[in-house]
Each structure stands twice: as structure tokens, then as C-alpha cells.
Structure 1
Amino acid sequence: MKALEYASGITLPDNRVAVCGDWHGNVGWARMLSRALPALAPDVTTMLHLGDWWMPPAETDEIFAETGITRIYVTNGNHEPWGDITPLLDQHPGAAVRISEIIWLLPRPARLSIGGRRVLSLGGAASVDRQSRIEGRTWWPEEAITDDAVAEAIAGGPADLMLTHESPSGTPVRPVREILRTNPHRFPKAILAESAASRARVGKVWDAVRPELLVHGHLHAPGGGMTEDGRRVASLGRDVQEGNLGFLDMRTLKMATPNMRAIRGLADRWEDGYLERERRAESVARTMDSWAVDGLSPTPDALDDAQKYIDGRRSLDELIDDVRRRHTRPREGEAKNDSGDGR
């Protein structure tokens, strides 16, 4: 991983953005979303990712190359290669770093302006599965949200939208509260205490900057809720889970989350279209190969027609009709009678 560019004071004009929860490096899931995105939101060019990202940069660029997504801003989570990320962010404190054509890693905290809205990003979280990980290989202490990051985030003043990986303490999201209450994975008390302290740090910032909406990942518990004072919290699901992808209207700060059935259906339709295009391309290639064997070469018009056929803009029947019109003429007895005498 290397830095390609640094940027501070990020300002984006977007009125609508995509927001995603944890991906955990799941290339297949990202590819499926990329196939559904053009149909779901052709106007969206920016994605905000809420951490547990850990995606291969070059492959991610390739995955989203045929979508409208031109930039992905990552609010880092706990399951990230912090051993690579920290040195890059430390070179220019407070600046975002671009590590591929479209991927930007955000510092902690980060301030952005999107569609005229004040956005605060505060990455990091506590790994409740830390005991099963290896320090320096699959876990790094740099995942933790520090007191300095909390103080800096608060000092930056109010925000309209807050992006975090960790949930805030006092969350109004019922599925998150239920997980925290029941501890279904039976994590040790000491680890749970670290998690609670991490949520308290996010909660402290949340209470201070008072965003209209806070969106987070981490708990793999999709849902939403509102506090008594009207602040909303949205918890996004993980990869292959319902509620992993949302589309956020920056004017209203309302978010729509397409269901899994719609995402899979659109991805399958894309796959069908891709396979059909490949079949057409193979057919054209075979035809032109046969021409070459006969010492023939296609005209510019023929090449243009072939590309239109491959792209699905013209059918084979339409091309045959064109050839017939261009290169044939009615037989003598079928010529149109233009004499006007009806005979």
C-alpha cells in the first residue's frame, strides 16, 4: 500500500451518495454491488464506506470501473491493515490519502463537505474478537479511537452527518441494543469493557457535535432508530447481509436501503447481459476470422455494425435487413409501377 495523493478540506458537490457497511475484503460482494449500482443509482458517483474495508486497491478499481463510482472515502474500522495505514496517515496528519485510482482513506477525525452538508468521520473501533487474532498480522492496537481524536472531533464543532465504524453509546437502534444486551457470541467481560469504552468515546463526540444523522457499521445489525431529541442513527449490515448498502440524500439526510433480492436480481441481470455480449463478440470474431482466411477485410461500416451488434444496439435481423437493402435490388418483374395508371 502506498500513498498516491494527499488532500485536506474535502468538498464534494454530490446531492446523493452511496453508503456501505463492512465488507471485510469480500471481493465477490463488492463485485455484485458494482453490477447492481448502475441500475439502482446511475447518478451516484461517491461512495462512503464505514470500515472493516480491507479491500485490494487495484482489484477494487477494476470492480468499479464500469460503474459511475469515481471515489470511495473509507472511514476505517477495526479490521483493517493498520500496520500499513498508520504510516501513510502519519505522513500528513489530518489529510486523507489516496491509495488507488478511486480509494481514499480518511484520517481520524476527518471533516468533509458533501452537498453543502457538514460531515464528520471518526474511524476505529474495539475488536471484540481480538483474542483470536495475532498482533501485527490480523490485529493492531491502532484500531482504537484515542482521546486526542475525540477532543479534535469535538473541537471541530457541529456536524450534520457523522460517519463512524463504531456504534455510539446510548444508541436508539434496537437490533444493536439487543446484541449488546445478550452477548450472543459470549465474548469475555474484559473485551466487552473495551468495546463499551470505545462506544462511549463515539457517544461523547455524538452528543457534542449533535448530527442529525449518524451512520455506522461494525455490529452487523442493520436497523435504525431515533433518540428522544430527534437525532437519528442508522446501523448498516455487513457483506452478504441485508442493509449493507444505502443511498443517502444529502439534502434531506434520508437514506434508502435496497433489499437483497433487488441487489441480487440486478446483479444477475448484469451477468446475463455480460454473457450475451461475450457470445456476440465471439460470433463476430469467428465471422471476421473466416473473412481473413478468404483474403477479405471488413469495411469501416462493417466494423461499426459489428460493434453495435456486440453492444446490443442492433440485432442480427436488423443487420441482415440493412445488407439486403444496400446490396440487393428488386427483380425486374417486382419493380414498383410508378406510371400512376394503375396497370
Structure 2
Amino acid sequence: MNPVLRALVDGNGGLVTRRAAAQVLPRWVLEDASRSGRLLRLLPGVYVDAALADGEKSTPPLARVAPVLARRAAVAYTGGRGALSHLTALDVWKLRRQLPGEPVHLNVPNGAGLRSGPYLVVHHRRSFAPQPPHTLMRDGEPVTRLDQTLVDAWPLLPQVDRPATLIRAVNDRLTTPPRVAAALATVPKLADRAALRGLLDRLAAGCRSPLEIWGYDHVFVGPGMPAFQRQVRVRLGGRVVYLDLFAEVELVDIELDGATAHADPREREIDLRRDALLAARGVLVVRFTHRRLLYEPDEVRRETLSILATRRSQNFVVAPGAVRRPSIT
């Protein structure tokens, strides 16, 4: 390979564009390297060192290189006019790794003149611009902002992956339900929009896991159930804990233990210390397992109502002008 071209390729992590090569070399040098097989054309005007590609030649070139290199090639193809989006942006945000065979997604403005191709989907957006607030840089890659990414990717995700992806984004404090809801409002015809809206409502209510959402929808609802506070922040000693479902009047904390809860004895010990500290403040901790919530919802509901009724009758003495009860603050 021409030494100047080799330096360009190596200096850019194995990637070179026709535009960059044309600034220092005659056009034929790049074409010769491509014809001889030393460079592989990934996209129009974008080439990669052929040694970095593998797989059958019948496979789309963009699918023959590592995902990071494929994303860099797609961004180079836009010439600064686009950003990674949809499932690809979710990968960059580290919320869900793209599966083999899934194409690279790009958002570009209308009129950008860029086309989709094998292993590449180009989304033309009327109001999109390749700069903030529409995009930002993450790990050196331009991506759509997270709230818009979650909405755009929703209909493309397998249904089993949808709730966990959004829940993780909220739990990791990368975004908030209101911000995602605002992005959703700009896409009135999104496929399966009602399911996303429902999930956002439950996250806004304080649910932070699929198990809590199940409880919200099927167990801790109906006549006699209080308006539980969800994810109540409490400082215990030198650390902060969050109560899954807190009945403030009865001072009852209902904890929903996931399917893998307490697999580690150390975690169980931590929970026991936490429950003891809450008990010292007058808070009764009631734990329900994943299995019971899913397979015995009616019994869990009855037990919860009985516990709440007992707490109301035992822990509160109503005197003229006052209600005496402990505080968790």
C-alpha cells in the first residue's frame, strides 16, 4: 500500500475516507488499494484496512468488521451530518448490546442525501440537527440524546427487552420518566405507543423493577389498599436506603424481593440489619418473594390488608388534637 495512504489508515484506527485521502493523494491511489484488496469499501467514500475484516465476502462489508469500527464508518459516511440512533445508540449508551445481524442506525436531517444500505438504516428526520440538543458525544461517538433514543428504539426492541432497557436507564439516573414522556409526545404514531406510555406512568409512580410493576398492576391495588409511596428515601445511620412500598399512616414498608434475592448470604445480612434499623424507628418491614407475588397474588393482597389493619389498630392512639406515631425522617 502507498506509504502515505498507509499512514492515513493507521492514524485513523484502520479507517480512511475518500475525502481525507483526496487531500494528500491522487484519486487513483485509493482506488488501486481497493481493487487490490488491501482496502475494503464499507460504505460510499469510506474504506477500512482489509485485514480488519472477516467473514464471507458475500456478507455485507459493514457486518464484517467489529461493531465499533462499523459505527465509526457509519458516522464517517454522514460527513458530520448525522448521529448514531435507535438500537445502535442504545449500545453506545451501554443499555443494550446490539445483537449480531442488527444493522447500524443513523439519524440524519431531511435532504442529507444519504441512503440506507446493507446492514445500515438511515432515518431522515425533519427536525433533526447533528448538534445539541439533538445529539451529544458519548465515548467519542455522536449519538442521539437518550430520551429520544429510548422512544425511537422501542418498536425495534424485542418485547422481552423493552421494560428492562427503560427501567435501567431510569434507575441509573441517565434520564427521567418525564423527559422520556416529552420525547414520546413528539412521536404520536409510534408503534406500541400505549405500552410505552403505560410503563412510563408506572415509573413516574415510583416503580423501579418489573416485579414492582407487577405488584402495582395486580397486587397492591383495589379496595382497602392505601396510596403507597414508592422508593421512599430514608437515611439509616451512615447510608441511604429506599423503601419499595411505604404506607405512611401505618408505618409499613413492603419489600418486593426479586427472583435472585438473598442468593448471597452477605446480602441477606445487610437486609436484616436494614430491617432492624427500620424497626427501631417503628417501621414494620414485610417482605414478599418473587414466587409469591406471581403465583399467590390474592393471598399476598389479603395478608397485606390484614397487616395494615392490625397496625392501624395497635400503633395509633388518637387523642384530642393529636396522632402519635414514630417518624422515619
TM-score relative to the length of structure 2: 0.24
TM-score by length of 1: 0.23
RCO higher in structure (CA 8 A, sep ≥6): 1
